Amino acid sequence: MAQIKAINARGLLDDLAQQAKAGAIDLIDVIRAAKTAVQTNSFRAGRIYVSSSGSGQSHSFQIPQIYTADFSVVQIAAQYQEFVEIYNDNVGWGLITDASDVDSDLRVMLNDDRLQTVTTRRLDITGIRFPGYAPA
């Protein structure tokens, strides 16, 4: 599992889903394109450059340094790969049946255990040595 907090991972996935909806593209295609973009020099340097050749306009921004430790190239690439695995697993389990339904795909992926903060539950033994303790 990628070492990005679950809330941030869900936020990344939601951003990708919004891009997919805006471009009328399947969610998995956007995830794979984002994964490929991680390997560009501008991403590795912490800068994203977006340009439009038709109008002559361009925009660029730098990722704030507060995020660069949490969102290193390796961690982002690992998180995108995990998104691909989550998507493919849910297709295999029959939970994702229509690749073009981004909202449904997003809902299924967000419910996956790998995108939750707490993924296991343990037995509560805090009162085991107290008189009258009865396990639930």
**Residue 110 in contact with residue 16, Cβ under 8 Å?**
no
Stated pTM of the model? 0.67
Rounded CA separation 110/105 (Å): 9
**pLDDT at residue 35, as a whole number:** 87
Give the residue-averaged pLDDT of 76-95.
93
**Exposure on the CB side of residue 65, measured as CA atoms within 13 A:** 0
**pLDDT at residue 36, as a whole number:** 84
Instruction: Answer whether residue 54 shows pLDDT above 50.
Output: yes
User: What is the DSSP code (8-state) at residue 61?
Assistant: E
Question: If pLDDT is split at 50, 70 and 90, which confidence band does 78 have?
Answer: confident
Instruction: Answer whether residue 84 shows pLDDT above 70.
Output: yes
Pick the closest to residue 4 from 88, 90, 74, 65 (CA basis): 74
**pLDDT at residue 8, as a whole number:** 86
**pLDDT at residue 55, as a whole number:** 58
Each domain of the chain, given as residue ranges in start order, spans: 25-113
Please give the residue that has the higher pLDDT: either 82 or 64: 82
Question: If pLDDT is split at 50, 70 and 90, which confidence band does 110 have?
Answer: very high
**pLDDT at residue 64, as a whole number:** 55
